[in-house]
Amino acid sequence: MELKDKSFPGIRRMFRQLVLPVIVVVLGMGIWMMQGCSYSFTGASISPTVKSISVSYLPNNALLVQPTLSRKLTEAIRDKFTNQSNLSLVGSNGDLNIEGEITGYTTEPVAITGEQQAALQRLKVTVNIRFTNKQDETQNFETSFSRFQDYNSKQRLADVEESLIEIINDELAQDIFNKAVVNW
């Protein structure tokens, strides 16, 4: 009994029409990316000539000052840029530079019950940011960013403040990162 090589012409045709173009596109993207276009899965679009970022300490100029907010927000922004990009953090004069100040730290009632009492309180942080890009001045900006978190008014702010600040700082850092390097 002799086995004959019986190939399936339909599979070969499908391979040529579907799989080979996909392989060509993937290889082409790899070559394109190596030739100078920068892309990351975080959505950042940073020129390959931009190598460093400096993030100045953000002083707290709000009327109500939370003692650790400046340090924690500054660190959150630095961490966001170093963790979600290939930029090196430098003390000053980076290719990208972020500076600014905290301009607001407030609490206010937001949900009033039928008995005219607040069911929820809102902690809000506002920061003014100046961003400069030494290599593309058209991307420079000065913008105010605000984020807030609500908490049950039966809780004392001191009991929930640290966790709320951590969430708010992460959100502010993401907003600043997006405005600075995610060009959507």
Q: Determine the pLDDT at residue 39.
A: 40
What are the start-end ranges of the E strands in 19-117? Answer: 52-55, 88-89, 96-112
Q: Determine the pLDDT at residue 119.
A: 87
Q: Determine the pLDDT at residue 15.
A: 56
Q: Determine the pLDDT at residue 33.
A: 45
Using left for φ > 0, alpha for ψ between -120 and 50, and beta otherwise, residue 98 falls in: beta
Q: Determine the pLDDT at residue 13.
A: 62
**Residue whose structure tokens are 């070559």:** 31
Q: Determine the pLDDT at residue 19.
A: 57
Q: Which one, of 99, 82, 89, lies nearest residue 44 by Cα?
A: 82
**Residue whose structure tokens are 């100040």:** 101
> Burial code of 153-174, b = ≥16 C-beta within 10 A, e = fewer?
beeeeeeebeebbeebbebbbb
What is the full per-residue pLDDT of the chain (184 aa) written as tens digits?
A: 555 555 555 666 655 666 555 555 555 444 444 334 444 445 677 888 999 999 999 999 999 999 999 999 999 999 999 999 999 999 999 999 999 999 999 999 997 777 777 789 999 999 999 999 999 999 999 999 999 999 999 999 999 999 999 999 999 999 999 999 986 4
What the chain holds in terms of domains, given with CATH numbers, is 52-181 (3.30.160.150)
Q: Which one, of 146, 114, 145, 133, lies nearest residue 180 by Cα?
A: 133
Query: What are the angstrom distances between the C-alpha of 2 and each of 6, 7, 8, 9, 38?
Result: 12, 15, 19, 21, 57
Tokens matching residue 3: 């086995």
Q: Determine the pLDDT at residue 51.
A: 95
CA–CA gap between residue 66 and residue 57 (Å, rounded): 15
Cβ pair 23, 66 in contact under 8 A: no
Phi/psi at 124 (nearest 5 deg)? -125, 135
